[in-house]
Chain A
Amino acid sequence: VADSPERDRRDDERRSVARLFNTTLIVFVASLFLMAGGGVLVRYVVNDANARVVDHWIPIERAHGRMLQQMTAAESSLRGYHLTLDRALLQPFVDARDEYPARAAAVVEMIGDDDELAAIIGEEAAAADVWFSEWGSTVLASTLTEDDPRDFDRTTGVEQFATMVDAHSRATGVIALRIDDSRDRARFVGEASAVVMVGYVVAVIVAGWLIVRRLRREVVHPLGELRVALNRLERQDLSARVDVTGATEVRQLGEAVNQLAEFSQRATVEQQARTESNRVVRAMASSIHEHLESSKLVSVTVETLGPALGGDHAIVIRVSPDRHGEEVIGEWRRHDGIESRLGTVIPNPDELTELVTRTFLGGKVVAIDDVAGDESLHPAVVEHLTGLGVCSLMLAPIAVGDEISGVLSVSTFDAPRRWTAEQQSMVLTVGVELARALRLADLYERERDMVNQLRSLDQAKTDFISSVSHELRTPLTSILGYTELLVDGDVGPLEGNQQSMMVVIDRNARRLLMLIDDLLMMSQIDANRLTISRTSIRIRRLLDGIADTMRPLADAAGLSLTIAPVGAEATVWADERALERVLLNLVSNAIKFTPPGGSVSVTAEPADDGVRVTVSDTGVGIPADEQDQLFTRFFRSSASRANAVQGTGLGLAIVRHIVEAHHGTVGVISELGHGTDVSFMVPPPPPSDEPLAAGAKSAVSLTSQETAP
């Protein structure tokens, strides 16, 4: 096993592209050198062989030939003398006898280390020496002895000479043989080198083919695969992988590409997981924020978060700021087999709240993958949790900033679980969202309580005003009733000032009644309780009634009250009592703000969209900058304050409410010091409605008019 990486490394080196190229280069450079060297060597060998023939054997052959020439000349000279006895003919013989040994020695010298040839030449020279010393000497001696050499038996001489010639022939044969040898060798080297060259070229071609084949297998093919894989990756097909084959570098490239693809795929999967978890968190956050009740919020959170994280149990633990009593206030269980802990208080020994505290103070997620195997936990905590059946859990603070209101816990009961970073961030985010929603819910609850409180206070006020105004009516009934009895003389005639004093009582009691009615009506308008019930009303009858009621007031104020004549049939569609209230308020206002001697008049004229009623006076008038606020409740004009005119500031506000409830309009025209015209428009009855027809009634709620969109 240990040498396996070593073997791999060697294998890598062996199969590397660089090595392949190196090898190829070396092969070709070497073959070039070999070819060049071989050529030079062949040339040298051939040249050498030829040179040896020319420089060595040809001179030897010549010198050897001259040896025989000289011997032949010596024999001719000796034979000539022998035949003619002419001494002069002996000269060549003498020259040969003197020169021949040196000549032979020179030839032997030239031969060098060819012992066989040297031996034959030696034999030739020895035979020549025998011929010279025996036959030659015999013949030569005759010149001194006077013997007739013609008597001499020539046979010996011929034989001796023939021995020499024979040796010469043999030597000549050997020399020719040597020359042939050299020539053969040169020729052989030439031919052999041609054959070697052809074989070499073939070998180089084969080597080149092998290299190409290997390149194809080790580099070209794997690179093609690589390109295909890269194209697939480019088209987002992240499952594409390269078959790691070929040369080392190509394999490394393939592995790099595979790692890249692996990484991209993992990153994509993680990205998808992150996107999914973001989506879940967003959906969860929006469903959390749909609720404004804290108990509902808590239950929605655990019911969504628990399944989303694949947990078995999710709870919300409320942590009070003083860290006393950590209660489970929300719970989700995957099945009923899990014991409910809703409403239980976490046991308070320190080691058991340690986890909660850790989350609480750390402000981070505490994720415990395996409760039983987690050594960072206090043994008592492990015992407590495993006792409950918890295998793994995650705790996150329910916090916004530093304000922590609780802890969110998700746990599994079946097996340990590795909580991923996404899941941890999800539970943390949900904790933050829950904290926000809880804070909102808290604010909302407080506000709702306050609104309810205000509403019941307002109701109490309205009820109070309503009941007070009713209670005040009963004594007023007696006051006005008995006053009327006295004024009418039912109990006998009144004397002197008694009559006028009774009228003052009556007038003030009626004023009190109007104030009470204003208060009651305003409180009804405020409480959205004022209803108007419309009928066809003959405007003339209504104005006559107003005149009757208001004339005593006008008389008392020293004013003339004029009701302009109206067409008998002019009708409006209105609530009689409400419209009466409008006219009473306007006329009493006019009377109040007009100095004695002035006049107040009421006119009614038919218009396109109903009847326009105008109350005019010759009073103090209203400054232009106050006219806008005139119909606002509790507004009191500068004139009313300056002239100490009594009033509540409700009259015109009620007028506006009632007129608008009738879909009418109200306006004011006033000139300071000259008087005021207040006019309002009331619509006519519906076309089908007969004036004064029985049952021609329609109840309209003022409030619905005002609040309807």
Chain B
Amino acid sequence: MTRVVIADDDADIRDLVSFKLQTAGYEVEAYSDGEAALAAVLDDVPDLVLLDVMMPRMTGTEVCAELRRNKSTAEVPIILLTARSQEVDVEHGFDVGADDYMIKPFSPRELVSRARAAIGRSA
């Protein structure tokens, strides 16, 4: 089963994304901060990582950069979720190795299709 790790400090969004992805047939592990998500991903590499940018302890971009530095996770698909719509944030996300980004508020429907595309590309 395809496994997705998501990290967002907002519980409602976590639940929304989890629900939509589970409905779409994915196995979802949700975390409320970057550190926990990083530990989980390094412990067992999933098929996709969804990271909110603004999170306590470690930001999404920091987690992304850390995962890209690590050999085992260098290739894992990563999608960033950001409330910041400015291009600089998006550029920074690509710089640290994200595969895609979505700006909040996003359509859950579109998130699923982007997730599917990202997993498909890496497969």
Residues of A within 8 A of B (CB): 470-471, 473-474, 476-482, 484-485, 488, 490, 509, 513, 517, 520, 524, 529, 531-533, 575, 577, 699
A476 touching B105, Cβ below 8 Å: yes
**Chain B min CB distance to A632 (Å):** 25
Point out the residues of chain B lying under 8 angstroms from A513, CB to CB.
Answer: 105
C-alpha gap A476/B13 in the complex (Å): 10
- Is B16 interfacial (CB 8 A cutoff)? yes
Q: Mark B61-77, 1 if CB is under 8 A from A, else 0.
A: 00000000000000000
Pick the interface stretch among B31-39, B42-50, B79-87, B115-123: B79-87
**Chain A min CB distance to B24 (Å):** 10
C-alpha gap A477/B104 in the complex (Å): 6
A485 touching B13, Cβ below 8 Å: no
C-alpha gap A509/B85 in the complex (Å): 17
Q: Interface majority SS on A: helix, strand, loop or mixed?
A: helix
A480 touching B85, Cβ below 8 Å: no
Q: Most chain-B CB neighbours within 10 Å: which of A476, A484, A513, A575?
A: A484
- Is B107 interfacial (CB 8 A cutoff)? yes
Chain B interface size, as a band, is 20 to 34
**Chain A min CB distance to B11 (Å):** 10
Closest 9 A/B residue pairs (Cβ): A477-B105, A473-B83, A478-B12, A477-B104, A481-B16, A470-B83, A480-B105, A476-B105, A473-B104
Point out the residues of chain B lying under 8 angstroms from A533, CB to CB.
Answer: 87, 91
A484 touching B104, Cβ below 8 Å: no
For B107, the closest partner residue in chain A by CB is A484
Given A484-B107, A485-B108, A531:B16 Cβ within 8 A: no
Given contacts A471-B83, A488-B109, 5 further A-B contacts (CB under 8 A): A477-B13, A477-B16, A480-B107, A520-B85, A524-B86
23 A-B residue pairings within 8 Å (CB atoms) = A474-B13, A476-B105, A477-B83, A477-B105, A477-B106, A478-B10, A478-B12, A478-B16, A480-B105, A481-B13, A481-B16, A481-B20, A484-B107, A484-B109, A485-B16, A485-B108, A488-B109, A490-B19, A509-B105, A529-B86, A531-B86, A532-B87, A577-B87
C-alpha gap A488/B105 in the complex (Å): 17
Given A473-B104, A476-B104, A477-B104, A482:B16 Cβ within 8 A: yes
Of the candidates A474, A481, A531, the one whose C-beta lies within 8 Å of that of B83 is A474
C-alpha gap A253/B85 in the complex (Å): 99
C-alpha gap A622/B122 in the complex (Å): 54
B105 touching A485, Cβ below 8 Å: no
- Is B88 interfacial (CB 8 A cutoff)? yes
Number of A-B pairs, beta carbon distance below 8 Å: 64
- Is B2 interfacial (CB 8 A cutoff)? no
Point out the residues of chain A lying under 8 angstroms from B109, CB to CB.
Answer: 484, 488
C-alpha gap A529/B85 in the complex (Å): 12
Point out the residues of chain A lying under 8 angstroms from B105, CB to CB.
Answer: 473, 476-477, 479-481, 509, 513
**Chain A min CB distance to B39 (Å):** 24
B87 touching A474, Cβ below 8 Å: no
C-alpha gap A302/B53 in the complex (Å): 58
A517 touching B10, Cβ below 8 Å: no
Point out the residues of chain B lying under 8 angstroms from A524, CB to CB.
Answer: 86
Given A517-B85, A577-B85, A485:B20 Cβ within 8 A: yes
Point out the residues of chain A lying under 8 angstroms from B10, CB to CB.
Answer: 474, 477-478
C-alpha gap A484/B87 in the complex (Å): 26
**Chain A min CB distance to B8 (Å):** 9
Point out the residues of chain A lying under 8 angstroms from B17, CB to CB.
Answer: 481
**Chain A min CB distance to B59 (Å):** 14
Given A478-B16, A481-B16, A699:B106 Cβ within 8 A: no
Point out the residues of chain A lying under 8 angstroms from B104, CB to CB.
Answer: 473-474, 476-477
Of the candidates B54, B88, B108, the one whose C-beta lies within 8 Å of that of A484 is B108
**Chain A min CB distance to B100 (Å):** 15
C-alpha gap A513/B20 in the complex (Å): 22
Given A474-B10, A474-B13, A513-B105, A485:B19 Cβ within 8 A: yes
For A490, the closest partner residue in chain B by CB is B23
C-alpha gap A544/B105 in the complex (Å): 20
**Chain A min CB distance to B83 (Å):** 4
A470 touching B107, Cβ below 8 Å: no
Point out the residues of chain B lying under 8 angstroms from A477, CB to CB.
Answer: 10, 13, 16, 83, 104-106
A481 touching B106, Cβ below 8 Å: yes
C-alpha gap A237/B60 in the complex (Å): 90
Point out the residues of chain A lying under 8 angstroms from B107, CB to CB.
Answer: 480-481, 484
Point out the residues of chain A lying under 8 angstroms from B108, CB to CB.
Answer: 481, 484-485
Point out the residues of chain B lying under 8 angstroms from A470, CB to CB.
Answer: 54, 83-84
**Chain A min CB distance to B35 (Å):** 20
Given A470-B83, A531-B86, A478:B20 Cβ within 8 A: no
**Chain A min CB distance to B111 (Å):** 9
